[in-house]
Structure 1
Amino acid sequence: MFPIWATTIVFSAVYSQNSSMFLEQGMVLDRRIGSFSIPPASLSTFDVISVLIGVLVYDKILVPVARRFSNKERGFTELQRMGIGLFMSILAMVSAALVEIKRLEIARELNLTHEKVEVPMSILWQIPQYAFVGTGIVFTYIGQLEFFYDQSPDAIRSLCTAFALVTVSLGSYLSSLILTLVSYFTTLGGQTGWIPDNLNEGHLDWFFWLIAGVSLINLVIYVCCAFRYKYKKAS
């Protein structure tokens, strides 16, 4: 079970972007809707909303449809559910990268590259990336808990289920490590780097593409491990 557990750490690294680089990106987008200014952190609400909607759609629509094809009571196996969640995490990073590419394009067109100011692009364009993360949570985290509860040895079932939650903290550490390495290597020789204080001069989109690439490699490894995994017999 350990390889399956390890691959979910990367998903948690993507999830940690909700409270880190997604906020940095939101700070340099247009946060005004009429006379109201949207706090970038408030967009995580769409993460929660997508979880609530995702659980409802999964239980009421996806499971009954999948049950017809798979002849399984739960519709999807735990490993299939987790795999879908890992794929959603890739879509989240791709969405964030595309938003950043457009933001930088607007900054160049308006000659704002060397000015530390907001770019006239609505912060609401970030909603899809938060929604993808929330949908990924529905599949990955819930599937992960089911997997560890069902597949763990009976004597240490509670311990293994709790151990699955450790991936959340390890994902945050992994995200911090990647960010530290990116900041170090991209600023060698006095270069501006991908993530400078003025994001209009940087390439936050490249950072998002990097996380998406790591997530893609992680998904391939996960699929290989999932195909080799043998479910234990029900006790």
Structure 2
Amino acid sequence: MLPIWATGIVFFAILAQFSSMFLVQGRMMDTMVGTFAIPTVSLACFDAVSVILFVPVYDRVVIPAARRFTDNERGFSELRWFGIGQSCPSWLLGAQQFFHDVQLDSRGLVLGRMCILWHVPQYLLVGASVVFACVGQSEFFYNEAPVSMRSLCTALGLLTVSLGSYLSSLVVTLVSSITTRGVEPGWMPNNLNVGHLDRLFWLVAALSSLNLAVFVCCAKRYKTLKQ
């Protein structure tokens, strides 16, 4: 159970990285919608809104649809829902790389002509990922823990969110310190025209893929209490 719990830490660290990426990208995008200027950091509210909206969709639409193809009352097992959530960052990275490439001109410079609202669908995908992962993780720890330790194991599941934030900060610090040696601007400067945000995409993609592979390996070997 602990290795599966540890993959949750890396998962939430990767999600925390998206906040940094969205902020850096948003600074180089067009923040004007009509005559109104949208603060870049305010788009984070769409993350919470997407979670609120997707929870009833998950319960009323996604689970009944999945139930038609399985004999499981919850549609899929808890680990499979958790795994679906862990696979979402790969789609997010693809979307971010696409929007980053669209902003570049023939010289590889960011034009800043794309509207910042194009980040909203990505925030919605983040919310869907959180719902899949958190619900699956919470149900897994609650159902698989001894009766006397259910509260503790549920709390350990929530602990992955905070530990993931710390891990994300550590990754950003290490990347910044390693890539800004000498006169190098690093991978995540305020001006993307002198940085290499694409390299950070590849780094996070590698971490996400490795974490998903570890999770799948652990999930396949895990024996549930019913087994």
Q: TM-score, normalised by structure 1?
A: 0.88
Greater CA drift, 87-96 or 29-38: 87-96
Candidates 161, 186, 194, aligned match of 2:179:
186
Query: What SS does the aligned partner of 1:106 have?
Result: coil
Shift of 1:5: 0.5
Shift of 1:18: 5.0
The question of 1:149 aligning with 2:149 is answered: no
The question of 1:29 aligning with 2:29 is answered: yes
Q: Whole-Å Cα distance in 1 between the matches of residues 81 and 19 of structure 2?
A: 25
Deviations 1:183-223 (A, max 9, x none): 12222343232112322211122212211221011111111
Q: Determine the structure 2 residue equivalent to 1:137.
A: 130
Query: What SS does the aligned partner of 2:52 have?
Result: helix
Shift of 1:131: 1.5
Q: 1:96–1:205: 8 Å Cα contact kept in structure 2?
A: no
Quote the sequence identity (%).
Answer: 52
Q: Determine the structure 1 residue equivalent to 2:155.
A: 162
Shift of 1:13: 1.1
Q: Determine the structure 1 residue equivalent to 2:13.
A: 13
Q: 2:24–2:190: 8 Å Cα contact kept in structure 1?
A: no
Q: CA RMSD in A?
A: 2.0
In the TM superposition, 1:77-156 aligns within 5 A as: 77-103=77-103, 105-106=104-105, 108=107, 119-156=112-149
Q: Whole-Å Cα distance in 2 between the matches of residues 83 and 77 of structure 1?
A: 10
Query: What SS does the aligned partner of 1:121 have?
Result: coil
One-letter code of the match for 1:146? E
Q: Whole-Å Cα distance in 2 between the matches of residues 107 and 211 of structure 1?
A: 26
Q: TM-score, normalised by structure 2?
A: 0.91
Q: Determine the structure 1 residue equivalent to 2:52.
A: 52
Shift of 1:180: 1.6
One-letter code of the match for 1:132? L
Greater CA drift, 212-221 or 44-53: 44-53
Q: Whole-Å Cα distance in 2 between the matches of residues 197 and 136 of structure 1?
A: 28
Q: Whole-Å Cα distance in 2 between the matches of residues 215 and 190 of structure 1?
A: 30
Deviations 1:134-164 (A, max 9, x none): 1101100111111111111111110111011
Alpha-carbon distance change, 209 to 128 in structure 1, aligned in 2, over 3 angstroms = farther
Q: Whole-Å Cα distance in 2 between the matches of residues 12 and 145 of structure 1?
A: 14
Q: Whole-Å Cα distance in 1 between the matches of residues 38 and 18 of structure 2?
A: 16
Q: Whole-Å Cα distance in 1 between the matches of residues 150 and 183 of structure 2?
A: 52
